[in-house]
Amino acid sequence: MDIYLVGGAVRDRLLDIEVYDRDWVVVGASVDAMVKKGYQPVGKEFPVFLHPQTKEEYALARTERKSGHGYKGFEFFTSPDVTLEQDLIRRDLTINAMAETDDGEVIDPFGGQQDLKRRCLRHVSEAFSEDPLRVLRVARFYARLAHLGFNVAPETQQLMAKISASGELQHLTKERVWSELERALAEQSPQQFFQLLKDCQALGELIPEIEHCYREQHPKIDQALLRCVELDTDASVRLAVVSYFLDSYESLESMLVRLKAPRQFKDLSLLFHRFGDQLLNLNTLPPEPLLSLYEGLDLQRRPERIRLLSQCCQALVDQQDRAKSLALQLQKLHQQVTAIEPASLVAEGFKGKALGLELRKRRLQNLIEHPLT
């Protein structure tokens, strides 16, 4: 039984990037042998085990054969006879197809180290085109590594375009598309994720709503995403900023439902698409529309949205001073509205419907007397 560190951990160590997760491949072992050593089986599609102490994942070396559609349309074969090279050749990119021994020796049968030096994302073999998920994975790796000077090999882009034209992308589950999108948005160059998918005709297949607006708005979208990276925003803000450019509220809502986006992503994207223009011109709004905006954003119950919406605004504003001003104005709006508390009106004898009407009346008066600028 031989055990090797594989994949991203080897790649990131060679790039001098912090390693967060470590995956291992086991050559020359069987399921029974792993169980006898105390490893816990967890794999559903092929044998994967958790280490009894570290809980890191150990997979038996395997080969695969295309047997259906999509990224799940494969038959896997594991045996003590499967070699390390046979296992590595099924991987997506050469920089992910390296292994490392206990003493630090790098095993690199497909030129991954050379591609790291050349800053090249290149597929390992023609089998790359059998798995449609790899289109999204390469785009995500590009979003992660582009700031280090990486580019995608032309021949790999050609295979990505071939997959896009084949119809195989339609067999990806929406959950998996969302997972790759969310991870890409959190990377250092999220704009490159969309650009590469567009270049290989995959964006329209996977997220047509974004592809439609990206054709005309991509310089603005790219610039806004770059500002998001500078602001160190989370992925929900970055999606909301992209969503702001979509043609209609209805198409955005349809996209978020189809992709099964989590609630916090849906809420922020829909709110900023609906109220973004008002937020970006906050200091020009009269008191009544200003209070209506505050109520529409539900900031009384959800004050944590103030920071997120401020970041959305800052990502879309060219002037840094104006960006900071918008954030301060939104915070001031919250302070002036909440300065009038229901408890004080209850003490005056207001209750029921009359309490709500008087509370809004006094909050509006406070905004009239104390403008944001």
73 pLDDT tier (thresholds 50, 70, 90): very low
Query: Token match 């047997």: residue?
Result: 67
Residue 41 lies in a domain: yes
Task: Please give the angle made by the CA atoms of 133, 88 and 178, to the nearest 5 degrees.
Answer: 20
Residues 6+ apart with CB under 8 A from 298: 305
Whether the CB-CB separation of 10 and 99 falls below 8 Å is answered with yes
What phi, psi does 125 have (nearest 5°)?
-150, 175
Residue 211 lies in a domain: no
How many structural domains are present in the chain? 1
pLDDT for 127: 87
Query: Which pTM was predicted?
Result: 0.89
Residue 368 lies in a domain: no
Residue 39 lies in a domain: yes
pLDDT-above-70 percentage for the chain = 96
Whether the CB-CB separation of 116 and 84 falls below 8 Å is answered with no
> What does the buried/exposed string (b/e) look like for 230-254 if buried means 16 or more CB atoms within 10 Å of the residue's CB?
ebebbbbbbbbbbbbbbeeeebbbe
Residue 277 lies in a domain: no
Query: What domain range is 9 assigned to?
Result: 1-118
Whether the CB-CB separation of 184 and 193 falls below 8 Å is answered with yes
373 pLDDT tier (thresholds 50, 70, 90): confident
Residue 17 lies in a domain: yes
pLDDT for 79: 82
Instruction: Show the tokens assigned to 370.
Output: 């104390």
Whether the CB-CB separation of 359 and 300 falls below 8 Å is answered with no
User: Does the structure show a pLDDT above 60 at 69?
Assistant: no
- Residue 85's domain is classified under what CATH number? 3.30.460.10
76 pLDDT tier (thresholds 50, 70, 90): low
Residue 337 lies in a domain: no
pLDDT tens-place string over residues 253-308: 999 999 999 999 999 999 999 999 999 999 899 999 999 999 999 999 999 999 99
Instruction: Give the β-pairing of 151-152 and 48-50.
Output: unpaired
pLDDT tens-place string over residues 306-317: 999 999 999 999
CA separation for the pair 255, 253 (Å, rounded): 5
